[in-house]
């Protein structure tokens, strides 16, 4: 069964693109992924089932320049998401 979406329950913020990428990663059975331009990374740290839903802890990485004049580097945040619904429901 494929999930329809996710809901952020702990962490700062996820963009719509990040949410779609995480849903696609979970639906294809992957535990880590990067985007085409290698500027975002997603790594499942843990996952547990609670009733019909799943709770995932995911490490989200963003590649960029964080201060003026600095080299490009990665920054990471841990988020906790809950699955929302299934395609066949």
Question: What's the domain count of the chain?
Answer: 1
Q: What is the pLDDT of residues 15-66, one digit of tens each?
A: 999 999 999 999 999 999 998 888 999 999 999 998 889 999 999 999 998 8
- Which residues lie closer than 8 Å to 5 by C-beta, 6 or more apart? 19, 23, 83, 84, 85
Question: Which range marks the domain in which residue 49 is found?
Answer: 3-86
What is residue 68's three-state secondary structure?
coil
> Would you state the pLDDT for residue 5?
93
Looking at 1-89, list the stretches that DSSP marks H as alpha helix, in order from N- to C-terminal side. Answer: 16-27
Q: What is the pLDDT of residues 68-88, one digit of tens each?
A: 999 999 999 999 999 988 877
pTM for the whole structure: 0.86
């Amino acid at each position: 069964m494929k999930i329809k979406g996710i809901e952020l329950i702990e962490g700062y913020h996820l963009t719509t693109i990040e949410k779609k990428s995480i849903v696609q990663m979970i639906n294809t059975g992957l535990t880590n992924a990067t985007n085409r331009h290698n500027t975002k990374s997603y790594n499942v740290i843990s996952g547990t089932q609670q009733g019909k839903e799943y709770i995932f802890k995911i490490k989200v990485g963003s590649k960029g320049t964080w201060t003026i004049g600095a080299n490009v580097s990665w920054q990471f945040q841990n988020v906790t998401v809950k699955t929302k619904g299934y395609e066949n429901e």
